[in-house]
């Protein structure tokens, strides 16, 4: 049974930092694209950051424009864990953050909800004075 468990969310002041973790089990995730999405109240779930393969040989990351230069996605294959380091947080970053694993192995960075088959339960991130 595939499981993704997020942790690390919380309340932080504007300009602060948080690191989200996504621990995976039930599948060897090292060859799969992984992604972080977020969903604010009344809004659709949106892509935040992803990590995927280039030519099935090199990992690379991509981000939504609003978080470039502030967020960093990384993975530790030995721990089957993906991280999202979030710096210089803004109130508009407030949302429930979800990690997900891609449908197919060895794929490029995936940016659509429909491209992912397993999701975590989400972790709340609130940025407020």
Token digits of residue 31? 């060859």
Q: What is the pLDDT of residues 67-116, one digit of tens each?
A: 999 999 999 989 999 999 999 999 999 999 999 998 888 999 999 999 99
Question: What pLDDT sits at residue 117?
Answer: 93
How sure is the predictor about 126, in pLDDT bands with cuts at 50, 70 and 90? very high
Average pLDDT over residues 17-37: 91
Contacts of 22 (CB under 8 A, 6+ apart): 4, 5, 6, 34, 36, 81, 82, 83, 84, 99, 120
């Amino acid at each position: 049974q595939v499981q993704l468990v997020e942790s690390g969310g919380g309340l932080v002041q504007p300009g602060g930092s948080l690191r989200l973790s996504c621990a995976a089990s039930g599948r060897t995730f090292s060859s799969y694209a992984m992604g972080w999405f977020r969903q604010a109240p009344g809004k659709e779930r949106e892509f935040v950051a992803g990590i995927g393969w280039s030519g099935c040989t090199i990992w690379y990351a991509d981000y939504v424009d609003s978080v470039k230069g502030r967020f960093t996605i990384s993975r530790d294959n030995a721990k089957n864990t993906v991280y999202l380091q979030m710096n210089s947080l803004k109130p508009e970053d407030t949302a429930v953050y979800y990690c997900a694993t891609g449908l197919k192995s060895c794929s490029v960075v995936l940016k659509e909800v429909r491209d992912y088959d397993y999701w975590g339960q989400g972790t709340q991130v609130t940025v407020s004075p």
